[in-house]
Amino acid sequence: MKISRRPALSEDERLAALGRLLTDTDTPMRLRVAGVIVLLYAQPLTRIVQLTVDDVLHDGETTLLRLGEPASPVPEPAAALLLAYIADRDNMNTATNQASRWLFPGRRAGRPARPDHMSSRLREIGIPVAAARGAAIRQQLLELPAPVVAEALGYHDKTTSRLLRESGGTWSRYAAGDHSRSPSGWTPRGAHGADNTPSSPSRPITHV
């Protein structure tokens, strides 16, 4: 997965954009959710539109988004926004789309939303996707080892290692190996109100 070399948002700009998407009820919910995924998890829109509702795992207390291995925790209030959106997705009215599993169903029956169209809409509401992704991945690399970020967010380890060097991170000596679990209690930084307490699901996680 590639990251643009265009200037990233500053951390203050990323947090401001994230806070706005989490609270601005005048913005269409699908754009809010897509923008939050970009700002928290540095995902490209080509991948975001391929997500399905089965990639959202929920047990009543914990919400996870499957982007890599392991699935990434979704902090509050982002989790509540994501679940509310799933319960009332748009473009679901046609007969052929009523059973769609796409997280972002497109206008064409059976197809997901177009990434170029979503990119344009996000730009209209002040979310430049490439700059937002750059800010998100660099912040993750300042807080977590590059191999963990690569596996959890679906990046190539060479990409995260390069970005780590560019961002001046301190995890360069982290040992390679089995990183099949996120660090205990990992919560992506920047979601207002997120609880950083380690969580252990009390019952099996199920698809939404």
| Averaged pLDDT, 194-200 | 35
**pLDDT tens by residue, 112-143:** 999 999 999 999 999 999 999 888 888 887 77
Going from N- to C-terminal start, the domains of the chain cover: 11-133
| Cα gap 19→104, rounded to integer Å | 22
**pLDDT tens by residue, 25-39:** 999 999 999 999 999
Q: What is the pLDDT of residue 6?
A: 57
Q: What is the pLDDT of residue 195?
A: 39
| Cα gap 24→182, rounded to integer Å | 30
| Cα gap 140→201, rounded to integer Å | 23
Sign of the dihedral through C-alpha 23, 27, 30, 33:
negative
Pairing status of strand 206-207 against strand 72-73: unpaired
CA–centroid distance for 186 within its chain:
14
Q: Is the pTM of this model over 0.85?
A: no
Return the percentage of the chain with pLDDT > 70, whole number.
66
Q: Which of 145, 157, 146, 181 is nearest to 71 (CA)?
A: 181
Q: Which of 79, 103, 105, 81 is nearest to 94 (CA)?
A: 105
Q: What is the pLDDT of residue 202?
A: 33
**pLDDT tens by residue, 84-117:** 999 988 666 655 566 789 999 988 877 899 999 9
| 153 has a pLDDT exceeding 80 | no
What are phi and psi for residue 137, nearest 5 degrees?
Answer: -70, -35
Q: Which of 162, 122, 131, 129 is nearest to 149 (CA)?
A: 162
